[in-house]
Amino acid sequence: MSPAVMIAQDSPRRMSAGLAIDAVSHAFGPEPVLSGLSVTLPAAQVGCLIGPSGCGKSTLLAMIGGLLRPDQGRVAHPFARPAFVFQDPCLLPWRDARGNIAFGLNALPMSRTECSARADRLLGTVGLTAEDGEKYPRELSGGMRQRVALARALAIEPDLLLLDEPFSALDVGLRRQMQALVRRLIDARGLTTVLVTHDLAEAVRMADRIVVLSPRPAHVAAQHDIGMPRAARDDGFVQAEVGRLLADPATAEALAVEGLS
């Protein structure tokens, strides 16, 4: 593992095989962003971080991915290979879709032929054609670009998938399509996933555990587990569940701030 990883790794004996964020506080300069935030997530589950804009969700995700070390507290998990999908697809404009999908494989010991074979496979996995693979990002639509970004994340066969508002730049129809695709892929692979979003309906559709963050400096305002299997959550269920969650005063208060802003 590269020395860039700054997550404290638990010894295998003690570890609960999931994600544990323990009393994490962090500040950018004088401004506190996270204050004493604790969250746990069992392995192979989808956790959803939801909260008002700028409350530190992305900061927390960067910590989970090992890109940022918290000032205080610890982030511990047994996962060795996290992969990110950002709100902006962040594709290399000078690489075609296939090259972009294979980009993360540069960090792994793999031959060129293996890399391109895997990139080809993933094109199909995310619903792109072989011709799409030849196209440069500027020739792809927004939804296709986000599919490429998703394929790039899945290509490294991650054990932890970190999604930073990956659907919010897409229009409603595309967003539902992508949510369904990601849901299927996560379920098929049993991937532990953390999804950052500001859309409660999206959280209800995707998550096993919804963690509601307060406005900055963020702490956990409320936490909800959803027992219903993801595949069985239809629109009616999502609507009812969103209503049920908003009936919780702590959740409603934390999310209402965003409504005003």
Least separation, in Å, of the C-beta of 115 and another protein? 11
The nearest distance, CB 90 to another protein, in angstroms, is 4
Which of 28, 69, 117, 139 lies at the binding interface for another protein (CB under 8 A)? 139
The binder of another protein chosen from 2, 11, 111, 113 (CB under 8 A): 2
- Which of 29, 30, 93, 227 binds another protein (CB under 8 A)? It is 93
Cα(149)–Cα(7) distance, integer angstroms = 24
Contact code string over 3-42 relative to another protein, x by CB under 8 A = -xx-------------------------------------
84 near another protein, rule: CB under 8 A: yes
Binders of another protein among residues 117 to 136 (CB under 8 A) are: 136
Task: Rule CB under 8 A: choose which of 138, 172, 232, 260 binds another protein.
Answer: 138
Instruction: Name which position in 53, 71, 88, 190 contacts another protein (CB under 8 A).
Output: 88
Number of neighbouring beta carbons within 10 Å of residue 16: 14
* Contact predicate 21/39, CB 8 Å: yes
Residue 76 to residue 214: CA distance in whole angstroms: 22
Identified binder of another protein from the candidate list 6, 8, 107, 240, rule CB under 8 A: 107
Q: Per CB under 8 A, does 95 bind another protein? A: yes
Contact indicator for 237, 228 with CB cutoff of 8 Å: yes
Does 114 interact with another protein (rule: CB under 8 A)? no
Phi first, then psi: give them for residue 163, nearest 5 degrees: -110, 115
106 binds another protein (CB under 8 A): yes
Contact characters 45-74, another protein, x per CB under 8 A: --------------------x-x-------
Please report, as ranges, the residues that interact with another protein according to CB under 8 A. Answer: 2, 4-5, 65, 67, 82-84, 86, 88, 90, 92-96, 103-104, 106-107, 136, 138-139, 152, 156
